[in-house]
Amino acid sequence: MTDDFDHICQQCARPLGASPSDDFCSETCETAWRAARTEGSPIDGGHRPDADLPEQRPAVPLTFLGEPPEGAVVKAGHEVLDDVAAFVARFNVFPDEHCVPVLTLWYAHTHAAERFYITPRLILDSPEPGSGKTRVLEVAAHLVAAPEMTVSATPAALFRLVSQGPVTILFDEVDAIFRADGAGNEDLRALLNAGYKNGASVARCVGDAKAMKVQRFPVFAPAALAGIAGGMPDTITTRAITVHMRKRRNDQQVQPYRYRTVVRESRPVRDALAAWVKSVADTVGVAEPDMPEGVTDRSAEVWEPLLALADAAGDHWPHTARAACTHFVLNGGSQVRSHGVQLLADLRDIYGRHGADRLPTTLLLGELRELDESPWCDLDGRMLDARRMAKELSRYGVRVVPFKHDGTTVKGYTTYATDRQVGLADAWSRYLPAEIGNPGNCGNPAAQPVTDAAPVTEPPVTAAPREVA
């Protein structure tokens, strides 16, 4: 009986006959037998995976496979970044909702910095001490790649730290390194300026006088800098994303920072972040993410790594990152301006109020000095005068021209170009953010001829009298 059972088809119970199979008399029976024992067709119809969809965890935990190997991606990208953001928000109160996403993406980019052409500088400043800058760096040290926390490292030490391998510089109290005007310590400034571009190096002479040689030090490395506001060189701030920290109110609470607890709790967050970034490094390294409207040139260069990672993470992160980019680049509000750019901005407001395309120098100086939030009454210890204004504007191709005003020939500035200067409207369009209803008029609605032929002698310029208390 057993021998007979062994020689019949498992599906139809007929003899196997000459079938090569030990179980089925035909392929039809084998297919029917297998179909009856299959739960259903694959939910994806048998198609290959969609490479454009973000990674997701299995609906049912695959616990039977054991613990995942070290470096394995066990979460989707947006979940990894959400965990980092939640961890960061535990220990600081930030000025707005855009700060935590920026910090999260900046920490993430340090794990693939070598894949990017740019590593943006991160600046944390505040008007007063005790605003949480150091705490941000302390938390960052648990999340970034190869952290190097320092307060007073010499440029020579930093050169060698960076050149010896991947490192993320976390520099606290950096305002003590530079003078109030942002100058000083040129070696450190050179390292931070050049080091935000991949492949950059700085040449220095090494050795004693008898055996001196030139050595090139690689300086490319992510760097976060914390200090009191106003002491950072412009050459660094233009390569950075600046978070303006503030003291938290008495009613705002954060979790206490206990080192051993933070080390233990941050390890799985950091490991998951490093593993995910490694899994998408090849993709984000060549990505060309779309920029928000108005974000161009160096600002676009600075934000490219962060937006590339946000796009790779998916879910809400592409939108969240671009909202933060728009806020910091276009709506930052407290951006530090040079005197020249501040002068252009104030002049644009004045011309807009007057609805004019030309105004005399004397009128402009009077209105500039009345602006409460501008420095024109105390500019390096003196009031702004005609000579200083001409010097500032000449850098932008804008110069004094003669024209008729109220029936007399005066000297002043026009919004439109003449044969010897480009006009204020040109400078506004190049150095100020776009403004809806920009009053600058590159034409000449009054059809008044403006030339340099009329010899008009400018009266001698004297300093405005000082007020005596």
Structural domains of the chain sorted by starting position, each given as residue range(s) with its CATH number in brackets: 2-36 (no CATH), 77-330 (3.40.50.300), 337-469 (no CATH)
Which pLDDT does position 48 carry in this prediction?
A: 65
Spatial contact of 389 and 342, defined as CB atoms under 8 Å apart? no
- Does residue 423 surpass a pLDDT of 80? yes
- Does residue 439 surpass a pLDDT of 80? no
Q: Which amino acid is at 108?
A: A
Q: Residue ranges of the alpha helices (H) in 110-196?
A: 133-140, 155-163, 186-194
Longest dimension (CA), the chain: 127
- Does residue 153 surpass a pLDDT of 80? no
- Does residue 95 surpass a pLDDT of 70? yes
Q: What is the mean pLDDT of the chain?
A: 83
Q: Which residue would you say has higher pLDDT here, 110 or 129?
A: 110
Q: Residue ranges of the alpha helices (H) in 8-98?
A: 27-36, 77-89
Which pLDDT does position 221 carry in this prediction?
A: 94
Which pLDDT does position 15 carry in this prediction?
A: 87
Spatial contact of 282 and 312, defined as CB atoms under 8 Å apart? no
pLDDT bucket at 435, cuts 50 / 70 / 90: low
pTM value surpassing 0.75:
no
Q: Which amino acid is at 39?
A: E
Which pLDDT does position 71 carry in this prediction?
A: 62
Q: Which residue would you say has higher pLDDT here, 437 or 413?
A: 413
Q: Which amino acid is at 96?
A: D
The mean pLDDT value for 151-174 works out to: 83
The mean pLDDT value for 339-360 works out to: 93
- Does residue 460 surpass a pLDDT of 50? no
CA distances from 360 to 63, 356, 387, 465 (A): 79, 11, 14, 21
The mean pLDDT value for 358-386 works out to: 90
In a 10 Å sphere around its CB, with 0-12 CB exposed, 13-18 middle and 19+ buried, how is residue 280 labelled? Answer: buried
Spatial contact of 365 and 385, defined as CB atoms under 8 Å apart? yes
